[in-house]
Amino acid sequence: SDGKTAVIEMAAASGLPLVPEDKRNPLKTTTYGTGELIMHAINRGCRNFIIGIGGSATNDGGEGMAKALGAKFEDKDGKDIGLGGGALGRLEKIDTSGMDKRLRECNFVAACDVNNPLCGPDGASYVFGPQKGADDHMVKVLDSNLSNYADIIKKDLKQDIKNVPGSGAAGGLGAGLLVFLNAKLKNGIDIVIETTNLREKIKGADLVITGEGMIDFQTAFGKTPYGVAKTAKEKNIPVIAIAGGIGKDARTLYDKGFDSIFSIVDKPMTLDEAIKNGSSYLQQTAERIMRVIKIGSYFTMPHNTRTSISTPANSL
């Protein structure tokens, strides 16, 4: 609204939905387009940036973004290493002297929904690589390449980024934003909670319902439903999550603020079918939840005061 602030969603340029499933390859995908969006905003006079870094198709540590802004990434022969997560294993030198000088006038905040480090078993490659098209062998290569990337950053730029929480977000773009743009990583949900005044809005609520496409162990790594659940639990409000699917180790969320989890998928179906009919499935799931809650309220009534709890199909 002030004409100086840009809100950029990296997924608009480097996101998973932009790549057909059979062509997803994080050895090749790049954040270069995200850097181009930043440069476009700078050219239009923006100096404050909020960058959403979820839903990436990339695993390049932000190398592409930095390159679009003028940084150089060279191999042992002084040649450009190219783009993508597969190129980082050849990296020997980083030169930031050619980056756009206007970046020094800018402030960057990254809306980051995960706390994963750049490398290792909880890092970008192992946790998020498979959903971007990486098989087991590729995951190992990507992690090794990001480790080399972190080592060169430490050598040339004097920053130790390998284990910084959030540096593994968006295939390591979190690390790139920290290193090359001096960004502050802030949970996206914290930004939303502050902007929407969520704490005030749920005051006095009896129940909070949240959700996302897939609820699994990754949800607790700072994703939006986890932030909502934490906020609700500050006021001891019960929390139910609704998801398109319930994935690996979702039960662990019962120890992290969630009281129950429901999937909207009630029969075998394709992803396209689930998306196409998502609104209807969501409505039906919400009705089932309310019916269960109504049964629960019946249990609190003395036996001699209970009447039928039959609820017609269209009454909720």
Domain residue ranges of the chain, discontinuous segments joined by +:
5-186, 196-305
Domains 5-186 and 196-305 share a fold: no
Q: Residue 274 has what pLDDT?
A: 84
Q: Which residues contact 64 (CB under 8 A, 6 or more apart)?
A: 14, 30, 31, 32, 33, 34, 35, 58, 83, 84
SS3 47: coil
pLDDT at 128 over 70: yes
Q: Is the pLDDT of residue 201 over 80?
A: yes
Using an 8 Å Cβ cutoff, are 69 and 177 in contact? no
Work out the average pLDDT over 186-197: 83
Residue 23 confidence (pLDDT):
94
Name all contacts of 148-152 with Cβ < 8 Å and 24+ positions apart. 148/88, 148/89, 148/91, 149/61, 149/63, 149/88, 149/91, 149/175, 150/61, 150/118, 150/119, 150/175, 152/91, 152/92, 152/93, 152/94
- pLDDT tens digits, residue range 266-307? 888 888 888 888 899 999 999 999 999 988 887 888 877 767
The pTM (predicted TM-score) of the whole model is: 0.71
Instruction: Name residues whose C-beta falls within 8 Å of residue 54's C-beta, 6 or more positions apart in sequence.
Output: 10, 11, 111, 113, 169, 170, 188
Q: Taking residues 196-225, what's their average pLDDT?
A: 91
Q: What is the pLDDT of residues 230-259, one digit of tens each?
A: 999 999 999 999 999 999 999 999 999 999
Report residue 7's pLDDT band, with 50, 70 and 90 as the boundaries.
very high
Task: Report pLDDT for 225.
Answer: 92
In CATH terms, 196-305 corresponds, of 3.40.50.10350, 3.20.10.10, 3.30.2320.80, 3.40.309.10, to 3.40.50.10350
Do the Cβ atoms of 276 and 305 come closer than 8 Å? no
**pLDDT at residue 308 in the model:** 64
Give, for 175, the enclosing helix (H) or strand (E): helix 169-181
Of 56-70, 147-161, 261-275, the poorest mean pLDDT is in 261-275
Instruction: Mention the CATH class of domain 5-186.
Output: alpha beta
The mean of the pLDDT values for the chain is: 93
- Residue 302 is predicted with a pLDDT of 83
Percent of the chain with pLDDT over 90: 78
Does residue 32 have a pLDDT over 90? yes
Band (312; pLDDT cuts 50, 70, 90): low
